[in-house]
Structure 1
Amino acid sequence: MTRQEHERRPYTALFEREQEVAVAERAVEALCGGADGSGRPSGGLLLFNGDAGVGKTALLGEMRRLAAERGGCTVLAARGGEQAQSVPFHVVRQLLQPALAPMEERQRRDILGAWYDIAGPALGIAPPVGPQADPQGVRDGLDWLVTRLACTKERLVLIVDDAHWADAASLAWLTSFTVRLTELPVLLAVAYRPDELPKHSPAFADLVNGRGNRPVTLHPLTPGAVAELVRTAMGREADDPFCREVWAVTGGNPYEAVELVAKARDRSLRPMEESAALLRELGAAARGSGLVARLERLGNATTRFAWGASVLGTEIQVRVAAMLAGMSPAEGAVCADRLREARILTGATELEFVHPLIATAVYRAIPPAARTAMHGLAAWAVTNAGHGPAAASRHLLEVHPDGDPDLVRQLREAAREHLAVGAPEAAQRCLERALAEPPPEEDRAEVLFELGCSALLTSPPTTINHLRSALALSGLPKNLRVDATYRLSQAYAHNSQLAEAAEVVAEHAGRTPDGPGRMRLQAAHFLWKGIQLEEEGAHARSQEIADLAARLSGRDNAERALLALRAFDAMIQGEDVLQVVELADRALVDGRLADGMGWTNTEWGFELPSIIGITYAFCDRLDKAEELFEEAIREFEISGWRGGHLAFAHEFLGLVHRRRGDLRKAESLLREGLRLADRLGPGVPIQWDGSCLLIDTLLAKGDIAGAQAVAEKYSFGPPYPPAMVMPDAACVLGRLLLALGRTKEAVTELEAAGRRLDERGRHNVLWAPWSLDLATAVAAEEPERARELADRSLKYANRFGTETAIGEALRRVASLAGPDAPEEAVPRLEQAVRHLEESPCRYERACGLVDLGKALLRVGRGEEAAERLREGLRIAEECGAEGVAGAARAELAGVGAG
């Protein structure tokens, strides 16, 4: 008898589940467009919880029946397994492979599109294409697949039973996918035991316990419902004392009640009071030690076969379970028949336990030594069948440590396979178990190195601990020591520990012989030092890298990295733009990133190409910056890097469009970057750059309220992160405070920013325009100080030399002339506009034209003023700068030239 047939037996009717069934029925009806099917399909999330055996599986089965009865629905189902929790994407594959199985490979590629190589390995339909997949990218690929299935096929009903036993990778996707359910014709039903929520998935616990979701809790049956169940199965003559005793023995648990009634029928008990005394003994045989005792009475061979089946857990084949039990396939078939008759196993070609409670009891009853031996045999069987180390790893994890180097090798191979499909947690479990074996002493450092690298994208603190341990051992090969040090510094940086990042590479660089490895560590030292907000010894560091770069030609990537860092540092300091751009160009090869320094290259990381793009963006080389950041988005998307890397690329492409003056596109890119960053959790460093740039862009648009809302959402203000923000965060906050009319606070913020930046020689007036905004803030009360600040800004703008910097400084200097001396402003503004007309930054050009138009009106040159105002209005409207456009319209209306 199959499990499904067992569940359809008449005495398994859904007694006392009318309300729960009604909830499921309403959800299916909404998915199908209402009672008559004419409405808009509405998806959603249904959560069912309750203790083991309370009827969650039966309720989900009723959902399947309801969906089939309505028609027009595709039902996909999966269930977690206690013995399969360590198998990444086990539940995902159960759920989605049936939809893909009938398709040819071409059809699978069509439906997955660009996600085929990213999500395909996790789905088990494609080999991995790289050493490490980004888990977020894999989840996005799975989102895409389900979206396509929902939009190109029938409406989807996704059912996940025993979610408390789902693997971490599957549960992470299910949890994140729930936010999409209201947008799609997809109904997701999840059943779980509330007291057994997995520790590996706190986000799932937050989902089911959150205020926005109200799980349907299944309770034990009442005595009346149990009595009806008994009479349905054993006849209406069953008397009340007998029925009451069934309820008392089982506590109203539906599964236990059904099993007890079945055993009473098998024993031919009359459902009368005189038989009630026998029920307690029968009930004990259905669970725990009683079940184990009942199993043992079936014989030693049958017991060992059941043990083997419980070790396999899922997809139990008679041949393999027999091998684990040390018997022939023929003997195994006989044992399987006995276990079917005893309602312990069900199924034909593939066996499964009648209920998870039985599987758990059998597995826990196996003596530890026998269990370990069986897991070892199961690992051998899986490997021998050609399924690979990853498939065998769930069994290898259960084998007792014994110093076996071959087991260490298999676990390391399994870890590599897990990383390649986007399951770093599974890889870490394998490597941690390999360390416990333990590995041969000469391999220990390498295992620690691999363990640290496996967590680089997901847990920088974990990476730090393991890489420090690896570097402390003498066994780490020389070719990995530089790599380990560099990655350790990256982990420190990603953990907002820039000082430690700089220190560790400086320390190891001093012990590394001259050559590319030493230069790589030196470059990392300059990088982590140079982007610190509160860097100590900034002038000495700048001079050191300038002296070093002066001797370099860019012949290899180590030299190119140092040239890129020198260009960025010179840009931040506001040195001659021609020299800055020449340095940046030399960091490229034929105008492109060199091989080995691309966006997804792990040797150098994405930071170095980033600083080249940022340098170009502030040097008026916007086409070059745009090319680099668009390439970053393409590479990250192709590689499935959908976390902080892709967020960063969107945000800095947004910077390029902010500088160009395409404020609408900039805002769109920045909001997308922040959306991606927000998925990583609150307070991640990339949110600082995104929120800072978005506030700056919204202020340029004239949307002060929007800028304030972003600042409040992201707690934008002191204390600032240890790394620089682009543009300088304190300067942008000062500008926001000025726009809000909070002038005194703005002055305090801008003065503090000026002191910090001046101490470190950071004088770029585009990246950090504190002096220009401070001049505006103090002009009314301290006009002389305002002029000094403005003249200082103009001096540094001229030193930097971009048309934008000079033109913007001239414009802001002119604004300090005041309404009583408009004739002083006009020449400055005319000069500013001439520079800005040569600049690619159209927003600043619009500001210059409108300011010039205003000044010309005040000196009586109305015709010229109107011409300038109209031109400024046109450009401002094209930019999306409604604040500037509104000012131009007001001036034109005032002179009747609108």
Structure 2
Amino acid sequence: MQCEVQKESTENEEVLEAGRAEEDRETEGVAEKAGGLLLISGEAGLGKTALLTHVRRVAGERDDCAVLFGRGSKSAERVPFTVVRQLLQPELAAMTQEARRELLGDWHDIAGPALGITPPVGPLADPQGVRDGLDWVITQLAFKGKPLVVIVDDAHWVDPESLTWLTSFAVRLTEMPLLIVLAYRPEELPDHTPGFKELVAGRVARPVELHALTPEAVAGLVREALGPGADDPFCREVWAVTGGNAYEAVELIAKARDRDMDPVEESAALLRELGAAARGKGLVARLEQLGSAVTRFAYAAAVLGTEIELTLAANLAGMGPTEAKQRADQLREARILTGDTTLEFVHPLIATAVYRAIPTGTRTAMHGQAAWLSADAGKGVAVSARHLLEVHPDADADVVGQLRAAAREHLAVGAPDAARRCLERALLEPPPEEDRAMLLYELGCAALLTSPKTTINHLRAALDLPDLGEDLRIDATFRLSQAYAHNSQLDEAARVVADQAKRIPAGPGRMRLQAAHYMWQGVQVEEEDAIGRSHRIAELARDLEGRDNAERTLLVLRAFDGTLRSENSLEVGEFIDRVLVDGKLPDGLGWTNAEWGFEIPSQIGIVCSYLDRLDEAGELFDQAVRAFEIAGWSGAHLAFAHDFRGLVLRRRGDLEEAEQALRKGLGLAHRLGPGLPIQWDGTCLLIDTLIARGKIDEAQEVAEANSFLPPYSPAIVLPDAACLAGRLLLARGKTKEAIEELEAAGRRLEERGRHNTLWAPWALDLAFAIKDEEPERARTLVSQAIQHAMRFGTDTAIGEALRLAAKVDAPRERPDRLSKAVAHLRKSPCRYELAAALVDHGVALRECGQQAEAVERLREGLELSERCGADGLVRTARAELVELGVEEEAIEEEAEPTG
């Protein structure tokens, strides 16, 4: 009744606007397959639920769309993916198992546990991977079945996992046959999902704001229910008593009708007392008048919250099924509960009032009972834990065990924040002293994916306790070092593993910590004792054969260090060969292995990239992408995989494909929040690729959008950030600023013995920048850089050093140097560098008057540049050929067969 009267009332403009918006969006959004978002905002009781009921009915009556509905609940706010399951389980339950598996595809094992349709396949699911899987499911439902209308009531009480997913999905609705309708109370927006606050406050969709009913609208409600004879003073008093609150007005009118009240001015004085019984203390008093048994059953229902099973409520209230059914009937008659075998409160305001009316001690005890009853009823530890979170700490080991079990389940479905809440509550119980260290360890692991700072605090506390076994102590230390590294505290990461390694007896565990120590030291930009550390790891790895993964890890670190130092590439490659088994990663050093982390296989791939072993590197990083996608790791791991895949493509000269991979990796990194270390690699590699493509303005845009400014990342990135900044400044014509940046980079790299001219070409770029003002110094820089490249010994390193060195040579000397560069780069798998050398050689030959040879070189360079996607080289080569008298039509004909 309320819904229909509100819709028809010309006085409630907000509801009319919402109705019109819904119908317009439904027609334009769903029927024409363009995504839409409708936000409905209003305080409690203003008609949001009634309006959504209307939306559900209108959409449900259509044959060309399907409706998914969910409702947030204060009582179930701490149960992960509650609303996700409300929305999607009915659709999935109607399918056969085969149809569900086909619908989910590769996401079956990743999103299935969160949906509650399949058990977890591992102990830890990546939250971002789960959200991506849910995106896939709802997208497939929308495109393969009927267009969808997704309706969520009380979004302010939706569990954080569901609300985070809904928010991320809602802001990306484009050209999808899907309408999302969210209703919420603006004064109760949750702090746990800041993205939702931004969504409703932003410009993605203007919320429809519901306000209190006007006196005229309330009069319409009164006369609709009590007859047209209701006089104006009576109607006005209904409005005054309820303040225009739609829910309270409807309840008051219903009570007046139940009492056969004559709707005239003489009856108006009775309305205030009657209205007080519809809310707060008045509602509780009315409930208590129904008797203690009815009140006890209502309390049980309030503790259980939503989707209240009659049998479970009866057990919690301490009564048999027959009596429980009678009490439920009485509560239905009183318009407090609705439903049959599954009950719910008529309105959230009633549920809140009843719950708050339960005496504190009674409420706590009932939550404790509800936890065990839920467990006995097979509801799962997640539901039980929701109740245990409300129980007062009492040093109960069973409660600790239940909360730890719930935390494990939460982690397995991709809800680490929920796991953290359970473990933090278990810590307050408190646990038995012998379990405290283990609990802290679990708490640190639970926060590893989402909060490095929290991980650090808990793991340090665990390590300070004596009850942590040696194996767990080693693992906790390694994970603590990872947390420090992910929090950009590389000094601490290296120090903590070094300190713990001294306390561990010799063996694989100690070697694991030593390897971690060298790894975190070796990736620091400002490492204080880089040369000393290089000598120590060289001595340690000299005789290692790679018999186990501890030895293999040290060999990888030795190879990575040798690459940065520009040591002999053949010797560096031998270290890598001792690690790989038949050219593949050994067992236990895979991409998703938790013992050693993904950093070790990443360093193998990076080293191979700089050793010109691009096929091996490409296969490794393709495997990384597949492994992370299969595991559902769609956060930092997958972002790194796409970045390093982009590195290989950049080295190969597939610049367009490299740009795509790097933009994808950077997009994934941005989803994790601003200022994270993962964003530095993606930003640097993308800028480097855009410079190679000749897209200098775009490179600068990427730099500005990603805060590519000093101070740069404390961890080594690819290529070196400061060197890249200098190269970008040179490309933009800012020579003075470039010189300052390159000189600072050079001092830092020289002090640490890092001379790789492919990773950090500062000396060659600086030589070019100062060649006119300081020619002698420029030649010295070039000579040293060539020596380093020769020592490294790959054709790419030597050829590229020679090519860049030629920029400093006198014009007559350039052709000879560039001819040698071309000769080396023809043997290299790096096609962009060869294309650049060919074009540079052609230009140098033209400047020396060797026109025929220049045309030959430029034509070859043009063809290869076009294949690489190096637009800047293409423009240069074309302009040079035109300068040499080759017509543009002839150039295009030459290029067309291979374009």
**C-alpha displacement of 1:381:** 1.8
- C-alpha distance in 1, partners of 2:858/2:841? 8
Are the counterparts in 1 of residues 47 and 210 from structure 2 also a CA contact under 8 Å? yes
Cα gap change, 1:559/1:331 in structure 2, threshold over 3 Å: closer, same or farther? same
The Cα of 1:66 is off from its aligned counterpart by 2.8
Shift of 1:265: 1.1
- What secondary structure, in the 3-state scheme, does the structure 1 residue paired with 2:342 have? coil
Q: Which residue of 1 aligns with 2:894?
A: none
- 2:669 aligned with 1:674, yes or no? no
Letter in 1 for 2:842: G
CA contact (8 A) 1:14 1:58 kept: no
Residue 14 of structure 1 deviates from its aligned partner by: 6.1
CA distance in 1, matches of 2:223, 2:323: 39
Structure 1 position 576, deviation (Å): 0.3
* Match 2:249 to one of 257, 267, 270: 257
Is 1:711 paired with 2:706?
A: no
Which has the larger displacement, 745-754 or 712-721? 712-721
Please show how residues 722-801 of structure 1 align to structure 2 within 5 Å. Answer: 722-801=714-793
TM-score, length-normalised on structure 1?
0.97
Mapping 1:465-480, distance limit 5 Å: 465-480=457-472
Q: Distance in 2 between matches of 1:796 and 1:62?
A: 74
Alignment of structure 1 residues 90-489 onto 2, 5 Å: 90-489=82-481
How many pairs does the alignment contain? 887
Q: What does 1:8-87 align with in structure 2 at a 5 Å threshold?
A: 16-33=11-28, 40-87=32-79
CA–CA distance in structure 2, aligned partners of residues 26 and 409 of structure 1: 50
Cα pair 2:691 2:699 within 8 Å, conserved: yes
Corresponding residue SS for 1:77: strand
Deviation at residue 69 of structure 1 after TM alignment: 4.5
Amino acid at match of 1:858: E
Whichever residue aligns with residue 96 of structure 2, its letter is E
Long gaps (5+) in structure 2: 892-899
1:697 corresponds to 2:686: no
| CA displacement 1:391-434 (0-9 Å, x = unmatched) | 31111211221111111111101100000000011101110111
In the other structure, the counterpart of 1:506 is 498
- Conserved? CA contact 1:533–1:723, under 8 Å: yes
Correspondent of 1:871 among 860, 868, 872 = 860
From the superposition, tell whether residues 295 and 571 of structure 1 become closer, same or farther in structure 2 (CA, over 3 Å).
same
Amino acid at match of 1:364: R
2:649 equivalent to 1:657: yes
- Deviation digits for residues 94-139 of structure 1 (CA, Å, limit 9, x no counterpart): 0111111110111111111111111011001111111111110111
Q: 1:528 to 1:631 in 2, by over 3 A?
A: same
Distance, in Å, in 2 between the alignment partners of 1:677 and 1:847 is 31
Task: Note the residue ranges of structure 1 that are not aligned, 5 or more in a row.
Answer: 1-5
Match of 2:895 in 1: none
- Which residue of the partner structure matches residue 807 of structure 1? 799
Give 1:896 shift.
Answer: 2.2
- Counterpart CA distance in 2 for 1:221 and 1:10 is 11
Deviation track 1:728-748 (CA, whole Å, cap 9, x = no partner) reads 011111111001000000000
Give percent identity, aligned residues only: 66
Alignment of 1:526-565 (within 5 A): 526-565=518-557
Give 1:305 shift.
0.4
Superposition deviation, residue 233 in structure 1: 0.6
- Say whether the 8 Å CA contact 2:3–2:54 is kept in structure 1: no
1:586-615 C-alpha deviation (Å, 9 max, x unpaired): 122221111111111111111111111111
The alpha carbon displacement at 1:43 in A equals 2.0
Partner-residue secondary structure (3-state), 2:392: coil
For 1:19 and 1:859, the matched residues in 2 are separated by: 79
In structure 2, relative to structure 1, the CA distance for the partners of 1:730 and 1:722 (3 Å cut) is same
Q: Deviations over 1:455-486 (max 9, x none)?
A: 10110000001001111111112220000000
Q: CA RMSD in A?
A: 1.5
1:825 partnered with 2:814: yes
CA contact 1:452–1:464 (8 Å) conserved in 2: yes
Measured in 1, the distance between the counterparts of 2:837 and 2:295 equals 87
Question: Aligned equivalents of 2:321 and 2:864: distance in 1?
Answer: 82
Q: Residue 638 of structure 1 corresponds to which residue in structure 2? A: 630
Contact 1:411 1:431 in 2 (8 A): yes
Matched residue, 2:581? 589
The question of whether the paired residues in 1 share the 8 Å contact of 2:12 and 2:217 is answered with no
SS, match of residue 696 in structure 1:
helix
Q: What is the aligned partner in structure 1 of residue 825 from structure 2?
A: 836
> Which secondary structure state, in structure 2, belongs to the residue aligned with residue 76 of structure 1?
strand
2:566 paired residue number: 574
Moved more, 577-586 or 748-757: 577-586
Corresponding residue for residue 489 of structure 2: 497
State the secondary structure of the residue aligned to 1:191.
strand
Bigger Cα displacement from structure 2, 63-72 vs 631-640? 63-72
Matched position secondary structure for 2:808: helix
**Aligned-pair CA distance for 1:60:** 1.1
C-alpha distance in 2 between matches for 1:64 and 1:270: 35
Cα distance between partner residues in 2 of 1:224 and 1:406 = 59
Query: How far is 1:321 from its partner?
Result: 0.7
- Change in Cα spacing, 1:378 to 1:755, as seen in structure 2 (3 Å) is same
Aligned 8 A contact 2:76 2:306 in 1: yes
Write the deviation string for residues 822-854 of structure 1: whole angstroms up to 9, x where unpaired: 2x2222111111100000000010111112222
Name the SS of the counterpart of 1:555 in structure 2: coil
Distance 1:256 1:695 in 2: 60
